[in-house]
Amino acid sequence: MRVLGIETSCDETGVAVYDSERGLLAHRLYSQIELHADYGGVVPELASRDHVRKLAPLLREVMEASGTAPGDIDGIAYTSGPGLAGALMVGAVMGRTLAYAWNVPSIGVHHMEGHLLAPLLEENRPEFPFVALLVSGGHTQLLQVDGIGRYTLLGESVDDAAGEAFDKVAKMLGLDYPGGPHVARLALQGNPEAFALPRPMIDRPGLDFSFSGLKTAVRLVIENTPDYPEKTVDICASFEAAIVDTLVRKCERALKQTGMKRLVMAGGVSANVRLRAMLQDLAKRRRAQVFYPSAAFCTDNGAMIAFAGCQRLLAGQGENLAVSVRPRWPMVELPAV
């Protein structure tokens, strides 16, 4: 089965063609970073309009790069949630329209399921079951994954997600949008032990996360450090160390709780160098394996949507032509494959 994937959940337009026998044939991604930079964050109306502007050209480019004609497409997958309602509608309308025009089935894909399954695009792909750490801009979750659509929520952030905390700390430090990657780059130059920052919720049972208090602790460090601009790299390093340490400890607790030996990490924050290194160390200590997508598939992308949609279309799942999106959508509500 050959599936066209469309991703428009937020500020990146992604299109890809995935073949169930040949793998990923082509993918393209357009980022709106420059568009939103002057505003210090994503402006939903501008994001939606830019998806309208870029989606059709990217679609033509991917079809040509993959050597695919409309008659070669067997199904269409698009992100239907969670995300910005207007941005989601752009991809949903395009996906539904093409499905009708080309007379093929279509399916709305859960954005976070796309991230969760992205490591399966790699040659070294995990087998089910496994524990998954999903760390993207607005989500931090630990899941037990027994198969596609067979998800048990083990823990999640009760306030700010890890990615949100990165971005908010970046804003405190006056770093450019998007702030998270800037914090991570500066952290490589700093001393992670320069400032004693808390590791939230590691002293209590359970697998939930909370990063709002850590964000407040960073703000207090900034306010009480007169020469803090000179200490920016140390603040970034100390903050990143606190986030990573917290995530890794909760991952270890999840592996112990489930008895599993495979850990999957996905989402935008999964590209973080320190986090990858510490999870590799955890895997060695526990004689386990850790898997994550290549850097190109950590961020939002059409390839993960094409792959996730392909698995569900192969299982006979699909939807009618009514266009609907779900800006909020718990992943545990998804049907099993």
Label residues 262-294 b or e (16+ Cβ within 10 Å = b): bbbbbbbbbbbebbeebbeebbeebebbbbbbe
Distance between CA atoms of residues 79 and 108, nearest Å: 6
Residue 77 backbone phi and psi in degrees, to 5: -120, 140
Which of 117, 133, 136 has the alpha carbon at shortest distance from 125?
117
Give the residues across from 151 on adjacent strands: 145
- Kind plus residue range of the DSSP H or E element containing 147: strand 140-147
Which of 265, 311, 294 has the alpha carbon at shortest distance from 29?
294
Which of 38, 229, 253 has the alpha carbon at shortest distance from 142?
253
Secondary structure, 3-state, 68-98: CCHHHCCEEEEEEECCCHHHHHHHHHHHHHH
Contact 77, 306 (CB under 8 A): yes
Position of tokens 């598939």? Answer: 297
- Kind plus residue range of the DSSP H or E element containing 67: none
**Residues in the chain, total:** 337
Q: At what angle do helices 179-187 and 162-172 cross, to 10 degrees?
A: 80
| Known binding residues | 111, 115, 134-138, 167, 180, 272, 300
| Known binding residues for Fe cation | 111, 115, 300
Give the residues across from 61 on adjacent strands: none
Distance between CA atoms of residues 164 and 177, nearest Å: 12
Mapped onto helix, strand or coil, the DSSP state of residue 265 is strand
